[in-house]
Amino acid sequence: MDIFDKLRNDPGPLGKWSDVGHGYMMFPKLEGDIAPRMMFRGKERIVWSLNNYLGLANDPEVRKTDEEAAGAFGMAYPMGSRMMSGNSDHHEQLESELSAFVQKEDTFLLNYGYQGIMSAIDCICGRHDVIVYDAESHACIIDGVRLHQGKRFVFRHNDMENFETQMRRATELVEGTPGGILVITEGVFGMGGDQGKLKEIVEFKKKFDFRLLVDDAHGFGTMGPTGAGCGEHQGCQDGIDLYFSTFAKSMASIGAFISGEKAIIKFIRYNSRSQIFAKSLPMPIVLGNLKRLELLRNRPELRQKLWDNVEKLQSGFRERGFNIGETNSPVTPVFLKVSIPETINLVVDLRENHGIFCSAVTYPVIPKGQLMLRIIPTAAHSDEDIRLTLDAFSAIRENVENGAYLKEMPVNV
C-alpha cells in the first residue's frame, strides 16, 4: 500500500471534522491586540481561549521590553546552540532567577515546552529504567514516554490506590537491575483543571524508591502564595525532584525550563538532544522572559485579580447548574452531554449570537466519550466580560434542554 493512501483514507479523529470545522472550530483566526476582547470574522468577541493568565501578553512594560530587545539584538542573536555558540549572560541570568523563584539548585532553559519535556524524559531514562505516569498526562508527556525504550506503567488519573499498585509493579521490575523509577505527573491538568496529587505522591517516597518529575505548565505563576506553582501551593516543593514549566501560559511568551538538583540539571544540559542540536532561544525572547518573571514576582495583584475572576466565573457556572468537574485551578471546563454536531451548533450560537469565543474540546485531547468547552479566565477580564458570558451560558443551557442544537442554529451574521 502507498503510505499516503492510509493518510487519505483516515484523516484522524480531528481531521475527519476538517470539512465542517476548518477556519472556525479548528484553526480559527483571532485578530487584534491580545486581550479579553478580540476580532473574529469581523466581529468583536469576548475571548476565553488564551492561556494569558496574568494578562502579560499586552502589558505595556512587556511590550516595551520586547520592542527594545528586538531592536537591539534582532531575532537571530545568539546564533547556534547554547553548547556551541548560543550562550549569553542573559540566558544564565534567567536560569539563575528561575532557580531562586522555584526553590531549586539549578535550571536549564528549553526552547519549547512540548519538545523540551519530551527530550528531558528521553535524556533521563535509559532502557533499564521504568516510568510511572498519570493516565491524563499532557500529550507532550505521553510522547516523551513513547520515546522510552524501557517499561512504563500508567496509573488511573489521580488514583493513589492504583498509583501504589503500579509502583509495586515497577519496583519489582527494577529489582536486581541497574534501573530506577521516574514518576511523572502534572501540577494542574490543563483540560480538567484539577491539581495533581503531588503531596500524596511525595509521601509515597517513604514506601518506594523513585524520583518525581512534575509538569507545572498551568500552575507556574498562578498557584501558591508567590506564584511558584503547585508544589508551593501544596507545601511539597522540596519533594519534587524535577520541576518543569513553560513560558507559554502565565508568562505569555515562548520557551520552557526544567529545575532541580545541580548535578542532574548539569547532566540534562550536556545530554539533552533537543537543545544540543537546536538553536538557542533568541535574545529578545530571553530578555522578554526576564521582564515577565520580574512582573510575575513583583505584581501579586495580577494573580489576585486572576483568582477574583476565577471565583466569580466558576461560582457563576455552578449556580447555573453547569458541570465544571473537579477543577481547583483557573482552568475551567464546562462538560457537555450533547453530540459533536450539537456541540458545533452550540459553539456557533455562542460566537455568532452572543459574542463569546471559547474552544470546544473532544478526543484525543480529552478521554473518549467526553465533550467540553474550555474556559480560561485571566487577570485582564472584567466583571462585565464575566456577566455577559454567564448570561450567554444561561441561554445556551435552555437551548440544550429544549433540543435546539439538534438542528442547525440560525445565526445573526
Q: Are residue 217 and residue 101 in the same domain, yes or no?
A: yes
Whether the pLDDT of residue 365 is over 80: the answer is no
Q: Would 101 be classed as within a structural domain? A: yes
Q: Are residue 265 and residue 175 in the same domain, yes or no?
A: yes
Q: How many CA atoms lie within 13 A of 292 on its CB side?
A: 29
Q: Would 411 be classed as within a structural domain? A: no
Domain-ending residue, one of 298, 330, 349: 298
pTM given for the model: 0.94
Dist. CA 43–CA 265, nearest whole Å: 48
Q: Are residue 327 and residue 284 in the same domain, yes or no?
A: no
Question: What's the number of domains the chain is made of?
Answer: 2
Q: What domain range is 322 assigned to?
A: 3-53+300-406
For 309-358, what is each residue's pLDDT tens digit?
999 999 999 999 999 999 999 999 999 887 888 888 899 999 999 999 99
Residue with cell 512534575: 214
Q: Are residue 272 and residue 368 in the same domain, yes or no?
A: no
Which CATH number fits the domain that encloses residue 105? 3.40.640.10
| Amino acid at position 407, single letter | K
Q: Are residue 102 and residue 131 in the same domain, yes or no?
A: yes
Domain-ending residue, one of 272, 298, 324: 298
For 113-134, what is each residue's pLDDT tens digit?
999 999 999 999 999 999 999 9
For 50-60, what is each residue's pLDDT tens digit?
999 999 999 99
Q: Are residue 139 and residue 225 in the same domain, yes or no?
A: yes
The verdict on whether omega for the bond into residue 364 sits within 30 degrees of 0, i.e. cis, is yes
Percent with pLDDT over 70 in the chain? 98
310 and 239 Cβ atoms separated by less than 8 Å:
no
pLDDT range class, residue 413, cuts 50, 70, 90: very low
Q: Are residue 292 and residue 349 in the same domain, yes or no?
A: no
215: left (phi over 0), alpha (psi -120 to 50) or beta: beta
β-sheet with 37-40: strand ranges across: 30-31, 37-40, 43-47, 356-357
Q: Are residue 211 and residue 346 in the same domain, yes or no?
A: no
Q: Are residue 342 and residue 382 in the same domain, yes or no?
A: yes
